[in-house]
Structures are given as structure tokens and as C-alpha cells.
Amino acid sequence: MFSKACEYGIRSVLFIAEQSQLDKRPNVVQIAKAVDSPEPFTAKICQQLARAGVILSKKGPNGGFYLEKDSKLKLIDIVTSIDGDTIFTGCGLGLPECSAAHPCPVHDQFKAVRDGLKNMCENTLVLDLSERLRRGETFLKL
């Protein structure tokens, strides 16, 4: 459902969050390796997220990307920064106009999925997910 850029963005932010809790600021090379993403693509995504204020960056020898330890960042912040909100509002078949009054064939079913996805993204803290990574309960790559 998410674009490839958004998938890599979420994975990158989760890694950054995990590292931030350890007082580390990973650079693009480290992030790309950790999430199995191409370095140039990772750099572009991280720059986009930093410009949007989703993640923080520091330049210099001890620089890199990070989140505040008490960050309240939610998945929806990452998704909307990269993909916008069309994943939560758009037509499941990509039609330019789709509504309850003028539905596509999958409108009702897709609306339920779309609303569930939005609810999950609005109610999921990045730090909660990164804690599960730290404990080894989840993973970012094979």
C-alpha cells in the first residue's frame, strides 16, 4: 500500500529511532545497510524527512540523523511526509473521482481498509516500534 520510498522511509526512521535511544546518530551509509536500501535513495529519503522535521540531523564528525529520546513521532507523520494523504483518501482503483455517492467497484471494501490503515498510523508511536526492534521481537531486514 505504501510507496517504495515510504517503506524505506519508515524502516529508516525506525532504525534511526532505535539508534537514538542508544545515543547514536547513524549516517546514510549505516542506515542504508541496516534497512537494506540503496544509499542514494536512502539519502534522498532522509533529506526529505529532515526537511519536513520528521527526523533531525547534525553535521560534522559526530553527525548523523536522530530523534529526540522522548519523541512523540507517529507513523502517520512519516507516511504523509513522503506519500501525502492520498493513501488515506484516494480511490482503491486509482480513479480520479470515487465517493459514497459515486463509488468504484471496491469503494466500500477499500474504504474500510484505508480507514483501518489510517487509524493504525495515527495511533502507532515510532518509539514503541523501535523498542520492539531493540528487544529483537521484530526486524528490518532478513
Transcribe 52-74 into DSSP letters.
Answer: TTSSEEE-STT-EEE--TT---B
Average pLDDT over residues 46-52: 97
Average pLDDT over residues 117-135: 96
Question: What are the pLDDT digits (tens) for 69-115?
Answer: 999 999 999 999 999 998 999 999 999 999 999 999 999 999 999 99
For residue 31, name the pLDDT band (cuts at 50, 70, 90). very high
**Please, what is the average pLDDT of the chain?**
95
Note the pLDDT of residue 142.
Answer: 78
Find the range with the poorest average confidence among 36-40, 96-100, 121-125: 96-100
Q: Which domains does the chain have, with CATH numbers?
A: 4-134 (1.10.10.10)
- Asked if residue 42 lies in contact with residue 8, where contact means CB atoms within 8 angstroms, the answer is yes
Transcribe the chain into DSSP letters.
Answer: ---HHHHHHHHHHHHHHHHHTTT----HHHHHHHHT--HHHHHHHHHHHHHTTSSEEE-STT-EEE--TT---BHHHHHHHHHTTHHHHS-TT--S---SSS--TTHHHHHHHHHHHHHHHHT-BHHHHHHHHHTTSS-S--
Phi (first) and psi of residue 58, to 5 degrees: -135, 135
- The pLDDT > 90 percentage for the chain reads 93
Question: What are the pLDDT digits (tens) for 54-79?
Answer: 999 999 888 999 999 999 999 999 99
